Amino acid sequence: PGSSYTLVASTFEPFMFSRFKLRLELDGPFRLTAIPREGAGMRLRELHGRWVPNTDCAGGPVDQCYARNPRFLVRTDCETPVLARLQTPQAESLPLINVSVFAFDDAVLGSACASSGSYTNSPQGVATRLATIGRAGPAEYLVVASTWDHDIDASFVLYFYSEHPVDVTPLFQ
């Protein structure tokens, strides 16, 4: 009584949609509410990248080389809600990963605006919570796709959602 549960009907593969039936039976009264799909109504930018050991696979934020991880520059001219999801769909073994969004002023990595939290290796990847970035006038942010370990050789996909148009540019060393 008084508990909330989330049921997810999933094809596991992104962008595969199909009809399905869900039957739910309980001993007491309940309410079933549909939850919108991740990023529903938002603009989606799909970006592909790769971690290469000893190059841009630079570990977590406690490592001195964290800023060498794959980065994406986000430019916006207004305040906008954003969400980032990082996945490693082709990895043979799932690495511990994280995605974070940082303020980026005068080429300096600022405070974190959003993070997926602890490094994890779940099949669905990691995602930030919905966060608002930007201000009136131009603003820049860095999205950092990182692994906990330095020796990961794996490709990744970054799904970046925004309510308003933003410019997202990969930054490579």
Tell me the pLDDT tens digit for each residue of 123-166. Answer: 889 999 999 999 888 999 999 999 998 888 999 999 999 999 99
The phi and psi torsions of 95 (rounded to 5 degrees) equal -80, 160
The phi and psi torsions of 68 (rounded to 5 degrees) equal -85, -10
Tell me the pLDDT tens digit for each residue of 70-110. Answer: 999 999 999 999 999 999 998 889 999 999 999 988 776 78
Residue 13, CA distances (Å) to 38, 84, 90 in order: 14, 17, 12
Check: CB of residue 105 under 8 Å from CB of residue 124.
no
Q: State the pLDDT at residue 58.
A: 78
Task: Calculate Rg over the CA atoms of the chain.
Answer: 18
| Angstrom distance (rounded) from CA 152 to CA 133 | 30
Strand partners, 73: 142, 169
For the whole prediction, is pTM greater than 0.85?
no
The phi and psi torsions of 135 (rounded to 5 degrees) equal -165, 180
Tell me the pLDDT tens digit for each residue of 6-43. Answer: 887 777 676 677 788 888 888 888 888 888 888 999 99
29 contact partners, CB below 8 Å, separation of at least 6: none
Q: State the pLDDT at residue 1.
A: 53
- Longest CA–CA span in the chain (Å) reads 59
Residue recorded with tokens 């966060």: 131
| Angstrom distance (rounded) from CA 38 to CA 22 | 20
Q: State the pLDDT at residue 15.
A: 67
